[in-house]
Structure 1
Amino acid sequence: MAARDYGQYGGITRALELVGERWSLLIVRDLLVGPRRYGELAGGLARIPSNILAARLKDLQSAGVIRRVPHSRVIVYELTPYGRELEPAVLALGAWGFKALGDAREEQVITPDSMTMDLRTAFRSNVAASLPSTAYAARIGDAELFIRVDGPSLEVSRGDGPSDLTFAAGPDIRRLISGELAPEHAIATGVVEVLGGRGALLERFASTFHLAA
């Protein structure tokens, strides 16, 4: 019997056999943001040993979840259509985990890909659909993201861009997203620092990105 064979027949059992190993879903999470080179995956998952990353990638390839493809003279990993079907499950798992998130420990970091997926998880397209298009330049921990909301559509990319609101925050931004902290109090207490644009737009951000804790 294989090490990951639970000896049971069922969909959840099979899913855990395919992506239940440690680090596997985080690799999937990062690839949901976009294709990544091996070094980019390693950089985004700084604590993963190289041999474990190689093994997980091999396992996910064998399962048909990811594939290696040439891109601009380099090899990248990307999700297959079958792998992309995991997105709703990953987003739902992120929303579930948010309820137990608590305060960040000193050694924990925010990566661009992890924050991108957290924003996708918290995005309320039904609310955004009734609001004007808005661009945010956000520095959240070590992640610098350009966030564009256009009706029910969300685009998140690394870097900067022309924005309606530029702000910086740390892990405590979860208190804004959960509704625990009102936007004006987030600014007053320094949880969010407005760097440019209209600070009043932080209320729009909080309405657009919301997850109840």
Structure 2
Amino acid sequence: MAARDYGQYSGISRAVELIGERWALLIVRDLIVGPRRYGELATGLPRIPSNILAARLKELQAVGIIRRAPRSRVIVYELTPYGRELEPVVLALGAWGFKALGDARSEQVITPDSLTIDLRTAFQPAVALELPATSYAARLGDNELIIRVDGSALDMTRGDGPVDVAFATGPAIHRLISGELAPLRAIESGEVEVLRGRAELLGRFASTFHLAA
């Protein structure tokens, strides 16, 4: 696939050869959320050079991890069944990396797709089963992520719509998920702004989505 060749005959070395090049795993992460056009991938990875994005897409296609597919007169990139097998790996890696996340730097951003994967990683279905069905909206800049929880079922989409509580967030959402920032304190400090709906449901959100740092 690429210039990297570890010269070892093992599953781990081959896996790193396939997805270990810079940006490759983040492309896979975003395609786990759903098929994306080239421009959508570029927007979701704002620091990736266009030539690197094009190269990674060709490489991932060449080894059967992703494919190009026509959708409503446009071409999108999507995971193949082989690429979809990476989903539990990506979620587990996200949980592992969360432990070393630290504080956000000013130049770091949270995208709707990256937050979607982080929330899927943090989702606690056993907790959600004991709670009423609840819908949330998390606003990231100009984007809004609709999060619907019904028992152990989790559905997340971009857009807007009726929800039980909507809140504006940023890096503080990771502190909320880790338990470092209590929901009430998040609201009082302005780190999370409740836009509409019942503010007390932010506590339910923090219980439903939790990862120990």
Question: TM-score normalised by the shorter chain: which range applies?
Answer: over 0.9
Give runs of aligned pairs for residues 52-63 of structure 1, distance below 5 A: 52-63=52-63
CA pair 201-135 structure 1, distance change in 2 beyond 3 A:
same
CA drift of 1:99 comes to 1.0
Does the aligned pair in 2 maintain the 1:27–1:41 contact within 8 Å?
Answer: yes
Instruction: Please list every run of 5 or more consecutive structure 1 residues that lacks an aligned counterpart in the other structure.
Output: none
Q: Distance in 2 between matches of 1:146 and 1:49?
A: 30
Secondary structure, aligned partner of 1:173: helix
Corresponding residue for 1:41?
41
Across the aligned residues of Structure 1 and Structure 2, the Cα RMSD in angstroms comes to: 1.1
**Superposition misfits of 4+ residues, deviation over 4 angstroms:** none
Corresponding residue for 2:105?
105
Q: Distance in 2 between matches of 1:114 and 1:29?
A: 8
CA drift of 1:130 comes to 1.5
Q: Distance in 2 between matches of 1:75 and 1:25?
A: 21
Cα deviations by residue, 1:23-72 (Å, 9 ceiling, x for unpaired) = 00000000001001111111111111111111100110011100001110
CA drift of 1:200 comes to 0.9
TM-score, normalization: structure 1?
0.96
Corresponding residue for 1:185?
185
Corresponding residue for 2:211?
211
Does the aligned pair in 2 maintain the 1:115–1:143 contact within 8 Å?
Answer: no
AA paired with 1:38? Y
Corresponding residue for 2:158?
158
Corresponding residue for 1:120?
120
AA paired with 1:195? L
Cα deviations by residue, 1:90-132 (Å, 9 ceiling, x for unpaired) = 0111111111111111111111111111111111111111111
Corresponding residue for 1:202?
202
Q: Distance in 1 between matches of 2:141 and 2:123?
A: 19
Corresponding residue for 2:145?
145
CA drift of 1:141 comes to 4.5
Corresponding residue for 1:90?
90
Instruction: Please list every run of 5 or more consecutive structure 2 residues that lacks an aligned counterpart in the other structure.
Output: none
AA paired with 1:27? I
Does the aligned pair in 2 maintain the 1:110–1:143 contact within 8 Å?
Answer: no
Q: Distance in 2 between matches of 1:186 and 1:45?
A: 28
Does the aligned pair in 2 maintain the 1:109–1:142 contact within 8 Å?
Answer: no
Cα deviations by residue, 1:119-171 (Å, 9 ceiling, x for unpaired) = 11111111111111100011135541011001101111111110001111120
Q: Distance in 2 between matches of 1:210 and 1:123?
A: 7
Q: Distance in 1 between matches of 2:57 and 2:203?
A: 41
Corresponding residue for 2:71?
71
Does the aligned pair in 2 maintain the 1:38–1:76 contact within 8 Å?
Answer: yes
TM-score, normalization: structure 2?
0.96
Does the aligned pair in 2 maintain the 1:110–1:142 contact within 8 Å?
Answer: no
Q: Which region of structure 1 is more displaced relative to structure 2, 8-17 or 133-142?
A: 133-142
